[in-house]
Amino acid sequence: MRSLTKVGPLALLAFVMSSCTAGNEPETSAPTGDTPPTAAAATGSESETQAVTLTDANLQAYARALRAQAEVIRRPGRGTHYGVTMSRHGLNGEAGEVLEAAGMTIDEYRQVHDLVDPVFTTLNFQGEIGPPRSINLEMAPEWKEKLEGDPFATLTPESAAALRKNLDDVAEAWGEVVGLTAQHGQ
């Protein structure tokens, strides 16, 4: 009898939890790790990803956003173990401050970030841009092909040309943020 009184409330709790969360999951999940979801995941449409083209203007705005993030991360007492969460829900805080400095909306930021970050992450692991980081290919074998290929191949020719043209400026700002937030230089 005693074990039944423990199981009953647990079963009820499990039922209530599953009922409360069913259908309330967000359409897209927050980015985790070094590689964020694609722009299609952030906007909900693959065709919208293809419509975004990297240009001198949006890459320079993105570089301003990254520099603003670095300024926020460096603030005394804030801690550098985490970056600025670029979320619709934080537009009154750090994310809003970064976007204002860049002159971008959250959607514009995400679209550019989702195209640039995978390219820069690959270039970084290839040792082409800093800060120095490494990847254990035994733990992440899917990276072997990425590291052997052309990181710009994921972009349209126009976007790849614009990113190559702005590489030094944007990569410097990107590397600054990564260097501030990287755990143990990895």
| Domain residue extents for the chain | 44-185
> What are the tokens at 35?
């590689």
> What are the tokens at 75?
């603030």
Q: Name the stretches of the chain with pLDDT < 70.
A: 1-50, 183-186
Q: Where are the beta strands (DSSP E) in the chain?
A: none
Cβ contact 147:122 at 8 Å: yes
**pTM, two decimal places:** 0.71
Nearest C-alpha neighbor of 146 from the set 155, 134, 154: 154
Express each pLDDT in 90-123 by its tens digit. Answer: 899 999 999 999 999 999 999 999 999 999 999 9
